[in-house]
Amino acid sequence: MKGPRLLIWGLAGVILLAIAIAVALPSPAVREDIGNAQLLQLQAAGARLVDVRSPGEFALGHIPGAENIPIEELTQVAGSWNRGSALIVYCATGARSYQAAQYLAAQGFTKVYNLKAGIVAWDGQVTRGNTPAPAAIKTNGKPIFIDFYSST
Amino acid sequence: MKPVVDGLAQQYKGKVEFRRLDANDDATQQLVQAYGVQYVPTFVFLNADGTRSDQLVGEASAADLTKRLDALK
């Protein structure tokens, strides 16, 4: 009987040790849920604000300063972003942005914030519609495609 | 991205005006700020009346760009 008992105690020891190591190591999760006031503070400090809803939802109303990157496009767009910069994501209720934040954190982004309750709980200003082109752009009756690049 | 954009410029010649702007150039800072450009490449799609139809940040495939170019009015 001593053999099986030793084995059980041994196993229990290994499991306890594994739990202790998991607790002691820094958590890989870098995502943090935030509220409206924190969003404004982070945005004022230069955080990038990303609305992961569809363009249609974005046009109906979005938080001023947000850029619209639908969640299905995030995987291809975020690859070129600086992983050390602060990023705030939001959607309608916080569900899609939660997924987006998890994805970004897994991709190595170290400062990811999720507006927990989404824009439905947003009590600040809202911008409606797509931003009109500035007067500096004069169209000649045709649509325009602009490619901003960097020569450096 | 330049070969992809150049190819599309040929494809949409006469239908859509293509502009390549250096985001670091002093002359383009007004537009950089107006469209909130923080990273390159950033692609801005404007309808014929000047309203913004869409904006993409980061590398994009020809198919992604084509879809948005086709949606321009």
Quick one: tokens of B4?
A: 């992809």
Percent of residues, chain A, with pLDDT higher than 70: 84
The pLDDT value given to residue A134: 44
**Out of A26-40, A42-56, A60-74, A98-112, least confident range:** A26-40
Q: CATH number of the domain at A27-121, out of 3.40.250.10, 3.40.50.300, 3.40.50.2000, 3.30.310.10?
A: 3.40.250.10
pTM for the model: 0.51
pLDDT of A23 over the 80 cut: no
Question: Has domain B2-70 been given CATH number 3.40.30.10?
Answer: yes
Q: Domain extents for chain B?
A: 2-70
pLDDT of A24 over the 90 cut: no
Interface test with A, best of B16, B17, B33, B49 (most A CBs within 10 A): B17
Q: How far is CA B29 from the centre of its chain?
A: 16
The pLDDT value given to residue A19: 62
* Beta-bridge mates of residue B57: B42
- Which residue in the list A91, A100, A101, A119 is annotated as catalytic? A91
Q: Chains A and B: how many Cβ contacts under 8 Å?
A: 141
Contact with chain B for residue A150, Cβ under 8 A? yes
pLDDT of B2 over the 70 cut: yes
Q: Domain extents for chain A?
A: 27-121
ipTM, two decimals, is 0.94
Please answer whether residues A113 and A105 qualify as being in contact, where contact means their C-beta atoms are separated by less than 8 angstroms.
Answer: no
Instruction: Name chain B contacts of A139, Cβ cutoff 8 Å.
Output: 17, 46, 48-50
Residues across chain A: 152
B 17-36 near A (Cβ less than 8 A): 17-25, 28, 30-32, 34-36
DSSP characters for A49-106?
EEE-S-HHHHHH-B-TT-EE--HHHHHHHGGGS-TTS-EEEE-SSSHHHHHHHHHHHH
C-alpha–C-alpha distance, residues B21 and B32, integer Å: 9
